[in-house]
């Protein structure tokens, strides 16, 4: 059961409370390359990304934020390490949130300067604690970057923010592996009221990284922990968004988009099912409705599963049956199956 957290607004997008779990991603471009960054963010927007973060590494990146912000439709987050002056510049440029790692920003005076400017502009700060950059005093106390060491670091950061009367906060805490990340988030969820940004750091290339993220985020989300997620993958950030929605769909935490179920195929299948499923998947990406579509390979389980879905195909030998809302509608040849399915979907919904 999800415990409602304090509500934090990132532009028009709300985190916490009972708001839907928000999907975010991060650009891979040099932020000062404004046109490339905007192009990548627009691709993310088309993939339904809801918040985007950019790395602000130097003054050129900070100077690019205003133009980027003006050219996109989703909230913009500036990701800052080391130099608190970049955080001040990013806030001035009008970003909707900043992410800092207090472990490398420096002394309390610098944190105070950031919180004051964020307070003036009424934007939240994500306190992003990583096991790789815990303060020396914490490491001395705990010996290793354990989940408890991460939680202690979060607690100390929040104390600093509290001294500055700053409460517009989102927390993230990334361990060195899936187990310690789960442990750290579970403790943080119990102890603090701020919304949680979930991520499995350095997850890897899309296939393995997607699985690792699905395991880590899935366990936390299933326990009701988390308010926004990023699936970190090496490669195209659009895949991060696709993977994030797949995780949320699998847990039925977001239901706005179509879900395709397709059978794994076996020796009974007598059509090119993988090709059919891929075509259906590609065309379904254009739809903004919560519909369940089944693509099944044979008559053993096919008709039953296809009847359970809103729309479905159950295949036979080089042909198949189209179902809608549990009713068999037509029998068509294999080459016509996908078109026939979408004719039926379009007749039944407005997309």
φ/ψ region of 315 (left if φ > 0, alpha if ψ in -120 to 50, else beta) reads beta
Tell me the window of 44-52, 221-229, 248-256, 296-304 that interacts with ligand SF4 (CB under 6 A): 296-304
What is the nearest approach in angstroms of ligand SF4 to the Cβ of residue 250? Answer: 19
| Residue choice 136, 252, 264, 327 for contact with ligand SF4 (CB under 6 A) | 264
What is the nearest approach in angstroms of ligand SF4 to the Cβ of residue 300? Answer: 4
How far is the C-alpha of 57 from the C-alpha of 69, rounded, in Å?
A: 17
Q: Is 279 in the site for ligand SF4 (CB under 6 A)?
A: no
What is the nearest approach in angstroms of ligand SF4 to the Cβ of residue 305? Answer: 7
Q: How far is CA 173 from the centre of its chain?
A: 15
Q: Is 261 in the site for ligand SF4 (CB under 6 A)?
A: no
How far is the C-alpha of 332 from the C-alpha of 343, rounded, in Å?
A: 12
φ/ψ region of 202 (left if φ > 0, alpha if ψ in -120 to 50, else beta) reads left
Tell me the window of 164-172, 188-196, 291-299, 318-326 that interacts with ligand SF4 (CB under 6 A): 291-299
| Residue choice 108, 205, 250, 266 for contact with ligand SF4 (CB under 6 A) | 266
What is the nearest approach in angstroms of ligand SF4 to the Cβ of residue 267? Answer: 7
Q: Is 90 or 298 the residue whose CB approaches ligand SF4 more closely?
A: 298
Tell me the window of 52-60, 139-147, 189-197, 290-298 that interacts with ligand SF4 (CB under 6 A): 290-298
260-288 as b/e: b if 16+ CB within 10 A: bebbebeeebbbbbeebbebbeebbeebe
DSSP lists the bridge partners of residue 229 as 23, 198
What is the nearest approach in angstroms of ligand SF4 to the Cβ of residue 265? Answer: 5
How far is the C-alpha of 123 from the C-alpha of 115, rounded, in Å?
A: 9
How far is the C-alpha of 128 from the C-alpha of 125, rounded, in Å?
A: 9
What is the nearest approach in angstroms of ligand SF4 to the Cβ of residue 273? Answer: 7
Q: Is 300 in the site for ligand SF4 (CB under 6 A)?
A: yes
Q: Is 268 in the site for ligand SF4 (CB under 6 A)?
A: yes
Q: How many Cβ atoms sit within 10 Å of the Cβ of residue 298?
A: 21
| Nearest residue relative to ligand SF4 (C-beta) | 297
How far is the C-alpha of 351 from the C-alpha of 346, rounded, in Å?
A: 8
Joined tokens for residue 23: 């999907």
Q: Is 303 in the site for ligand SF4 (CB under 6 A)?
A: no
| Residue choice 93, 263, 293, 345 for contact with ligand SF4 (CB under 6 A) | 263
Q: Is 102 or 303 the residue whose CB approaches ligand SF4 more closely?
A: 303
How far is the C-alpha of 246 from the C-alpha of 214, rounded, in Å?
A: 9
The footprint of ligand SF4 (CB under 6 A) covers 263-266, 268-269, 296-298, 300-302
């Amino acid at each position: 059961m999800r415990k409602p957290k304090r509500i934090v607004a990132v532009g028009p997008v709300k985190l916490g409370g009972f708001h839907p779990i928000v999907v975010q991603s991060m650009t891979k471009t040099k932020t000062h390359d404004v046109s490339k960054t905007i192009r990548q963010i627009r691709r993310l927007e088309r993939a339904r990304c809801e918040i985007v973060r950019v790395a602000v590494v130097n003054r050129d990146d900070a100077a690019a934020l205003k133009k980027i912000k003006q050219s996109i439709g989703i909230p913009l987050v500036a990701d800052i390490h080391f130099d608190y002056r970049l955080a001040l510049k990013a806030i001035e440029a009008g970003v909707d949130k900043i992410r800092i790692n207090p472990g490398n920003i420096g002394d309390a005076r610098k944190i105070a300067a950031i919180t004051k400017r964020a307070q003036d502009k009424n934007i939240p700060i994500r306190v992003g604690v990583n096991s790789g950059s815990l303060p020396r005093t914490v490491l001395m106390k705990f010996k290793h970057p354990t989940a408890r060491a991460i939680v202690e670091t979060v607690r100390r950061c929040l104390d600093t923010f509290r001294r500055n009367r700053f409460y517009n906060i989102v927390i993230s805490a990334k361990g060195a592996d899936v187990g310690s990340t789960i442990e750290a988030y579970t403790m943080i969820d119990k102890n603090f009221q701020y919304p949680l940004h979930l991520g499995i750091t350095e997850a890897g290339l899309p296939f393995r990284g997607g699985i690792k993220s699905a395991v880590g985020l899935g366990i936390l989300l299933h326990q009701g922990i988390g308010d926004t997620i990023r699936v970190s993958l090496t490669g195209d950030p659009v895949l991060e968004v696709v993977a994030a929605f797949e995780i949320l769909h699998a847990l039925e935490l977001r239901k706005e988009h179509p879900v395709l179920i397709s059978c794994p195929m076996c020796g009974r299948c007598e059509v090119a099912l993988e090709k059919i499923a891929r075509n259906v998947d590609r065309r379904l990406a254009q739809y903004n409705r919560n519909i369940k579509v089944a693509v099944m390979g044979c008559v053993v389980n096919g008709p039953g599963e296809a009847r359970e879905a809103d729309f479905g195909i159950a295949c036979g030998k080089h042909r198949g049956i189209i179902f809608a809302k549990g009713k068999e509608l037509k029998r068509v040849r294999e080459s016509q199956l996908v078109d026939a399915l979408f004719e039926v979907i379009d007749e039944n919904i407005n997309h």
